[in-house]
Structure 1
Amino acid sequence: MGHRGSGERKAVVRAASARIGTFSLGFGSPTARQEFAVPFPNEDEVRHISDLKVLADGTVLVSSASDPNVDDGPFSSAVYNAGWLAVNGAHHAVLRLRKTDELTPLRRFTKQDDRKIEAIAFLRAGRAIWGTDDENHGGWVKFDRLTP
């Protein structure tokens, strides 16, 4: 839960522990909150987090996207290993996201590539899927291989 950010306004990520029962799912109050901003894309209207996934080992992957608010683009985007999420002994969420100057894109798509990644999925054995919504250009799905 949180806010994706926009331009100079950083994204806000909140985390809370969850309890999974046989027929129920309960969430506690957020115990972690952190602001987050990416170094790229860095122009037009930047969504610092267009999608966020937490991997089984606690790695937090995010995609970021730039949208000039024109349905013909050009768009740019990137995928980052943003940090990690864990649960401490008191069953509280612990969130550690990297600072902007500590981030290096795992994948980077420039305005020449014209892709606006808004969905990420991480599969087994380091395989990933990037999904885009490129407005008037339609959508695009790319299978990729990486190590977060």
Structure 2
Amino acid sequence: MRQVVIGTLAVLGVLTAVPAAQAAPADPWQRVGVDILSGVSGAVVVDREDGRIDSLIVRDNKKPGQNRIARVRQSPGKAPKVEPLAWQGELPVDLESIEPVPGRRGEFLVLGSAGKGFQIRVSGGEAVVLRTFQVPTGQPGDDYESFQLASVSGRTVALWADRGQDSRPATLYAAEFDLAKLTFGPKRSAEIRVPYPKAKVRHVSDLAVLANGELLISSASDPGDDGPFDSALYSAGRVSLDKDGVRLEVAKQPKSLGTYAGHKIEAVTCVSSSCAELLLGTDDENAGGYLRVVRR
């Protein structure tokens, strides 16, 4: 998904298993939510060992009392175990992404669809808000579903994207990012269109940046709370730095990395720093949420 920072959460806490009947071994998708309030709108891997993957997922809920963040453990041959975490501090609306803070174990940046971000610390059974920030103003109607950090030539670059809708392309933004102040330098932007899905399409439902600057994106169709959904993964270009600052190179024809019928992918993250494997997360509305590991 980007140059990934893998850390271990201080306390794993008590985990609750999703019923085994919902995660048949033959199905590569593992269910981690059962209804419209428990989908996956963003994910980050925090630890892995011997086939086990520990991650944090965020949920795009909007009302008080609804879960915003959960811890998930996936172990070979077992159903995922899901632990909803308490939220302490200003309550976000419609969280869409989560990203580790480099060099700050247990701290993360999360972003809502309107562009408001939160720096949080996760420990034990709760997430505590430390600071907030706002992405630079984009275009009227922007609806963000992604936020990533990349280390480019030794400097930190933030990337985020309006998802687009049908004939309106997604708009990818990038800017140098000051982690100490949570502020942005001059932003660059580029439009992205995908050839599939073809109807009710969100051209960028999440994005990832590999260590070499390569941009990966997911795209998804969303015809309504009952689907049917379809998704795709693409290699869509590259981010770099030159004498003029951040540079975005976006492919006119993104390279397909796979299609996924029946699910609405809204989370893409690397399983390890090599990014040989990706963890995909879905927000399938009334059908809940799923996770799946795929090789790149």
TM range (shorter): 0.7 to 0.9
Mapped pair 1:17 → 2:17:
no
Where 1:98 maps in the other structure, the secondary structure is strand
Q: Contact between 2:280 and 2:292, CA under 8 Å: does it hold in 1? A: yes
Partner of 1:93: 246
Partner of 2:227: 73
Tell me which amino acid in the other structure corresponds to 2:226.
Answer: D
Partner of 2:190: 34
Instruction: Name segments (4+ residues, structure 1) moved above 3 Å.
Output: 23-26
Q: Contact between 1:131 and 1:142, CA under 8 Å: does it hold in 2? A: yes
- How far 1:13 moved relative to its partner? 1.0
Tell me which amino acid in the other structure corresponds to 1:107.
Answer: G
- Measure, in 1, the Cα distance between the counterparts of 2:243 and 2:182: 20
Partner of 1:139: 289
**TM-score with structure 1 length normalisation?**
0.84
1:62 to 197, 200, 217: 217
**TM-score with structure 2 length normalisation?**
0.44
- How far 1:25 moved relative to its partner? 3.9
Q: Contact between 2:237 and 2:254, CA under 8 Å: does it hold in 1? A: no
Q: Which runs of 5+ in 2 are unaligned?
A: 1-159
Tell me which amino acid in the other structure corresponds to 1:94.
Answer: R
Partner of 2:266: 118
Q: Contact between 1:17 and 1:87, CA under 8 Å: does it hold in 2? A: no
1:47 to 182, 186, 202: 202
Deviations 1:29-74, CA, capped at 9 Å, x for gaps:
21x211111000011x1100001121221111111000112x1110
- Measure, in 2, the Cα distance between the counterparts of 1:86 and 1:50: 22
Partner of 2:277: 127
- How far 1:24 moved relative to its partner? 3.4
Compute the RMSD of aligned alpha carbons: 1.5
- How far 1:144 moved relative to its partner? 1.0
Between the two proteins, the alignment pairs up a number of residues equal to: 135
Q: Which runs of 5+ in 1 are unaligned?
A: none
Mapped pair 1:107 → 2:262:
no
Larger Rg: 2
Tell me which amino acid in the other structure corresponds to 2:192.
Answer: F
Deviations 1:86-131, CA, capped at 9 Å, x for gaps:
11134x10000111xx223212013xxx110000002334111000
Q: Sequence identity, in percent? A: 41
Partner of 2:142: none
